[in-house]
Amino acid sequence: MTTPPAQPLMSHLQELRNRLIKASAAVLTGAIVAFIFREWVFDLIVAPYNEIAGESDLVFFRPTEAFSLFMRLSLFGGFVMASPVVIWQAWAFVAPALTKREKRVVVPIVLVLVLLFLAGITIGYWSLQRGLEFLIEFGGDNLEPVIGGNDYLSFAMRFLLVFGISFEFPVFLYAAAAMGVVTWQRLAAGRRWAVLLIVSAGAVITPSGDPLTLLLLSVPLYALYEATIWIVRFTIRR
């Protein structure tokens, strides 16, 4: 197994710049598409809130808030649509440092990263209504929810991104096993620690902090942890 020759620092910086430009162009293109269909994207994001609040519409408090809201929403939609390109550019930047044997798994790893990210976004969207319902009903009859559009959008985007990014961890766990840092036996023996770390990290990163959202995030993450153990066991040979 041969090691790729070292490259000058300026070459690395130029490569990083080119990858960032390509990723940014993809996000910008996606954002333009999302802005064109901004009303549809907005209705999609607001649908979980409407299912709970009924006729209680979101409001905005500043003249520029609606414009800012749709711009941020378009950028978020653009990032989600461009996520395959962004992830590919990130791995392509790392590829020159890999051996020929390692480069063969780049495409499968990028594909899995994209699928896991989109799966996390999907499960996060399904969980969003459950988390909102718990939080809004917690106020009971004494508090009437009057939620600003900017506040709801910030909450929803953080919620979805937390789920999307969290679902990426099995790939890095598998990479650690492939490099010999951990084995499937060690992963299996560390189940209790895995549960503790998943729950603790979920409690810190979830935007709402409520127990229902924590449960909705922790259960699939632990299922992915168990799946990673079996995949490592039957695919990695020493």
Quote the CA–CA distance of 24 and 83 in Å, as a whole number: 11
Domain ranges of the chain: 9-167
Residues in the chain, overall count? 238
Q: What pTM was estimated for this model as a whole? A: 0.81
DSSP 155-203: HHHHHHHHHHHHTTHHHHHHHHHHTTSS-HHHHHHTHHHHHHHHHHHHH
Residue 201 CA neighbour count, 13 Å, CB half: 17
Residue 8 or residue 200, greater confidence: 200
Crossing angle of helices 65-94 and 9-36, in 10° steps, is: 140
CA atoms lying within 13 Å on the CB side of residue 203: 7
- Lookup: tokens for 85: 């390109």
Compute the half-sphere exposure of residue 152: CA atoms within 13 Å on the CB side of its CA: 28
| Between residues 205 and 162, the one the model is more confident about | 162
pLDDT digits (tens, 9 = 90+) for 146-183: 778 888 888 899 889 989 999 988 888 887 887 778 88
pLDDT in tens, 33-84: 999 999 999 989 988 888 887 666 777 788 888 888 899 999 999 999 999 9
